[in-house]
Amino acid sequence: MDQSKAKPIKALTQHLKDLTLTGPEETQIQAIQLDSRKVLPGSLFVALRGTQTDGHQYIDKASSLGASAILCEALPDVLRPEITYLQVPNTAEALGHLSAAFYGHPSKHLKLVGVTGTNGKTSVATFLFQLFRALGYRCGLLSTVQNQIEDQVIPATHTTPDAVALNGLLAQMLQKGCSHVFMEVSSHAVAQHRITGLEFSGGIFTNITHDHLDFHKTFDNYIQAKKGFFDALPKTAFALVNIDDRRGAVMVQNTKAHTSTYSLQTLADFKGKIISDTLTGMHMEINDQEVWFRVIGRFNAYNLLSVYGTALLLGEKPETVLTELSNLLSPPGRFEQHISPTNVVGIIDYAHTPDALENVLETIAQLRHGNEKVITVVGCGGNRDQEKRPKMAAIACKYSNQVILTDDNPRFEDPMTILDQMRKGVPPLDYKKTLVIPDRREAIQKAYSEAQPDDIILIAGKGHENYQDIAGTKHHFDDKEELLKAFGQPQ
Ligand SMILES: CC(=O)N[C@H]1[C@@H](OP(=O)(O)OP(=O)(O)OC[C@H]2O[C@@H](n3ccc(=O)[nH]c3=O)[C@H](O)[C@@H]2O)O[C@H](CO)[C@@H](O)[C@@H]1O[C@H](C)C(=O)N[C@@H](C)C(=O)N[C@H](CCC(=O)O)C(=O)O
Ligand SMILES: Nc1ncnc2c1ncn2[C@@H]1O[C@H](COP(=O)(O)OP(=O)(O)OP(=O)(O)O)[C@@H](O)[C@H]1O
Ligand SMILES: N[C@H](CCC[C@H](N)C(=O)O)C(=O)O
Ligand SMILES: [Mg+2]
């Protein structure tokens, strides 16, 4: 990535708190690097304490590769005279500020809106990106599915990139004339200071339910991480929260931002009501105006309300916004429907948390109008929250006539162990309707072979993903491709 021209270290660090500088003061920085293996001469190497190892162990290696400065929490035993050492209490936090400064604080010159919550971030950020482009603005998007600068797609490796990549992307967006950027803010990103140093124009809270306890350890830590995003918003920003979520009010308890609310259940600044919801569209009332949407499902009614609220908070006119919103389509892998030649309905959805799975299955239950069977194919990812596994299997059983438990991304875990943990959530009365087919391709084929015309197959957990991560290798795998193959309609 182009990290532009060399920058004097003094200018970059002048606002860093509790900084101790040792060594040359006139150093110029060509690039910021978090990985010692990628250090090039003139780089600033940042020693981060990670989940697997401690970046401080690689200071020597980075120095040998020509780093001209080192940002660290503890100085190495031997200091090299040609290197500038920047010692701070928290390197991750300092990195946030430093990355923003290195790229000339692009966020200050953009209308940057962050979306946080367990579910709905990609949907809301993508809807906002589509809406504001339709309203005539040049826009950027940072999301799990992909990053985008207008029509240019830049593959995403994370939901929220690291601070260096993030500020680099924002700088590119600004340079290409974007005025608005919509981004997902994951809880990992808040906890690891990936967003520190950014100036947001607004923040949105969708909801918080069970996920990522492998990383945050307790639900309370998870809530605090999300709340940290709102705590740090400036008073010029807005904070828009889903007040139907039990934690909505807590999120904005200590924010300096101007708070607004949205709701389907109670009084709020942006109040919605679902009039009807079918496979072909959703009819809603939003702040007393009736609108038809192409996207469906109660969870999307929340997403649309937050998008509508954001647009108004950014100064757009209600009527124009509603007109454009009614044309929007869901992002790939979010309630994506395909119909087979025999009229079996296949739905691919990224539901990978208990709450998302329940929402999607409830939506399907509401959309059924006869005796259609619901067949759910679902798995859980390896090296992620284990507590959600039995819960997701139990939810699949509660709402489906048949369930096929299968692999998601096993990563470094034994797939059978994950499936055994899921199986623990199957109530004994549902054993008969539950199959375990580890091979996801076979599971999808089996689901289709069991389906009759009008039946609904839900394939949950991987959505847009086009790979299966097995022991560190990403093998090509795409639920949509497999579904269409099973339908006898290969792409
Ligand atoms: C748990 C987590 O967030 N991990 C991220 C973290 O890695 P880590 O803390 O494990 O790093 P580590 O391996 O312990 O290494 C520590 C430091 O030493 C450095 N190092 C290491 C080895 C070496 O030889 N030299 C060296 O300098 C590393 O570059 C790193 O800076 O920092 C890395 C660099 O920024 C990230 O790539 C990595 O994301 C991993 C791949 C990941 O899977 N993250 C997921 C959990 C994640 O971030 N997900 C969220 C939310 C998803 C959602 O719900 O939407 C996301 O925003 O994507
Ligand atoms: N507002 C919502 N509330 C609950 N569930 C939702 C909501 N919006 C979408 N979902 C469900 O959650 C799934 C994931 O949605 P989306 O990708 O928008 O969430 P996300 O927060 O970006 O997820 P991730 O944490 O993986 O980035 C969807 O496929 C759908 O099943
Ligand atoms: N952003 C989420 C996505 C999970 C998707 C699911 N397919 C899995 O692999 O667990 C994560 O990294 O935890
Ligand atoms: Mg996402």
pLDDT at 34 over 60: yes
384 C-beta closer than 6 A to ligand 3: yes
Residue 28, amino acid:
Q
Residue 188, amino acid:
H
Are residue 282 and residue 153 in the same domain, yes or no?
A: yes
- Yes or no: say if 116 and 155 are a contact pair by the CB < 8 Å rule: no
Which ipTM did the prediction report?
0.94
Are residue 438 and residue 483 in the same domain, yes or no?
A: yes
Q: Domain with 468 in it: what CATH number?
A: 3.90.190.20
H helix or E strand, kind and range, residue 129: helix 121-134
Structural domain of 258: 105-327
pLDDT in tens, 353-404: 999 999 999 999 988 877 899 999 999 999 999 999 999 999 999 999 999 9
Q: Which atom of ligand 2 is nearest to the CA of 357?
A: 31
Enumerate the H helices of 219-278 as residue ranges: 219-231, 248-251
| Cα 352 to middle of ligand 3, angstroms | 7
Label residue 280 by pLDDT band (50, 70, 90): confident
Q: Domain with 86 in it: what CATH number?
A: 3.40.1390.10
Label residue 219 by pLDDT band (50, 70, 90): confident
Burial of 150 (0-12, 13-18, 19+ CB in 10 A): middle
Within a domain: residue 100? Answer: no
pLDDT in tens, 46-95: 999 999 999 999 999 999 999 999 999 999 999 999 999 999 999 999 99
d(Cα 87, Cα 362) in Å, to the nearest integer? 52
Label residue 290 by pLDDT band (50, 70, 90): very high
Are residue 299 and residue 175 in the same domain, yes or no?
A: yes
Question: Which residues are annotated as part of the binding site for ATP?
Answer: 117-123
Are residue 128 and residue 68 in the same domain, yes or no?
A: no
152 C-beta closer than 6 A to ligand 1: no
Residue nearest to ligand 3 atom 8, measured at CA: 381
Are residue 244 and residue 361 in the same domain, yes or no?
A: no
Question: Which residues are annotated as part of the binding site?
Answer: 34, 36, 117-123, 159-160, 186, 192, 194, 384, 408-411, 461, 465
Within a domain: residue 348? Answer: yes
Are residue 239 and residue 126 in the same domain, yes or no?
A: yes
Residue nearest to ligand 3 atom 1, measured at CA: 159
| Cα 351 to middle of ligand 4, angstroms | 11
Residue nearest to ligand 1 atom 44, measured at CA: 158
- Yes or no: say if 459 and 447 are a contact pair by the CB < 8 Å rule: yes
188 C-beta closer than 6 A to ligand 1: yes
Domain stops at, among 294, 327, 360? 327
Are residue 69 and residue 141 in the same domain, yes or no?
A: no
- Tally of structural domains, the chain: 3
> For residue 230, what pLDDT is reported?
97
Best mutation site among 116, 122, 184 for ligand 2 pocket (most ligand atoms within 8 Å of CB): 122
Q: Which atom of ligand 2 is nearest to the CA of 119?
A: 21
Q: Which atom of ligand 1 is nearest to the CA of 160?
A: 57
Contacts of 107 (CB under 8 A, 6+ apart): 100, 167, 170, 181, 197, 198, 199, 200
Are residue 214 and residue 318 in the same domain, yes or no?
A: yes
d(Cα 143, Cα 140) in Å, to the nearest integer? 10
Phi-psi region of 251 (alpha: psi -120 to 50; beta: other; left: phi over 0): alpha
Within a domain: residue 316? Answer: yes
| Cα 141 to middle of ligand 4, angstroms | 12
Are residue 139 and residue 272 in the same domain, yes or no?
A: yes
Are residue 153 and residue 200 in the same domain, yes or no?
A: yes
3-state secondary structure of 439: coil
Q: pTM score, two decimals?
A: 0.91
Residue nearest to ligand 2 atom 9, measured at CA: 120
Q: Which of 345, 354, 443 is nearest to 398 (CA)?
A: 354
